[in-house]
Amino acid sequence: MKGYGKLQSVGQYDKLNDMEGYAKDMIDQCAKADIAVNQDPKQLKHAISTDLRDNIPPQLYFVVSGLIDVIQKVEEA
């Protein structure tokens, strides 16, 4: 059975102002949990800065979906 502690709270890293330290800790926690993530802290820290569910509003996804629909139809025409 897997066992590991909770990833340290974001607030503690905030004091250190250290996103890369947070990323390094996350890599260790993921190794213990058998979750595969980017192993380069200089890349990981950017990957965890964006949540695609929040940073892009649903209306924009809708527009993108509309264009995909148009392109699919042109390709099939």
Partner 1 sequence: MKINDMLLNQLKLQNKYGDKASESETTGRVVNGSKEYWSKDAQVNELLERYQVPKTETNQKGIEAYLQNNEGSREDKLETIEIAASNGVEMTESNLNSIHEAINSDFQLEESIEVLVVGGEDAEGMITEGDVKEMALPEDMKAEILKDIESGTPVMKALAKALGKAFGEAFLSKFSGKVDGDITVTIRITIEVIEIKYQQEGDQFDLKALMDQFSALIEAAKNGEGTLITSAADLLAALASLEDASQVAETVLDEGVEVPVMTLEDDEDEATVASDEDFMDEIAAWVSEALNSVDDVVQEMMASLNDSDTIKLYVVESVTVKMQTVAESFKTEQSAMLQLLDTVTSEEKSLTSDQVKAVLETVINKLDDVLMKSDIPLYTSMTMEKSLLKMTSDLQEAQQLLSKNDVAGAKAIVKHVTKELSEAVFKPSEQKIQAFALKQSEAFTQEDKSLQEKQVMQLQSYKQEGVSARSVLDLFRSLGLNHEYEVSEKLSQLKNFEKDVKIESNLKEVLYKLERDEKEESHKTVETLEKSLNNLTGQQLLNKQGQKNSQQTMFFNIPIVNEQEVKNMKLYVNSRDANNRLDWENCSLYFVVDLKQYGPTGIKVDIQDRGVSITVKNDDENLKDVIEPLLDNLGDILEEVGLKAKNVNFLPLDDHKKFGRNMLKEQSVSEETTSQQTTYDAAQKGFDFRI
**Exposed, middle or buried by CB within 10 Å (0-12, 13-18, 19+), for 69?**
exposed
Residues 6-45 that bind partner 1 (CB under 8 A): 6-7, 9-11, 13-14, 17-20, 22, 26, 29-30, 33, 35-38, 40, 42-45
**Exposed, middle or buried by CB within 10 Å (0-12, 13-18, 19+), for 50?**
exposed
Does residue 69 bind partner 1 (CB under 8 A)?
yes
Residues forming contacts to partner 1 in the complex (CB under 8 A) are 1-3, 6-7, 9-11, 13-14, 17-20, 22, 26, 29-30, 33, 35-38, 40, 42-77
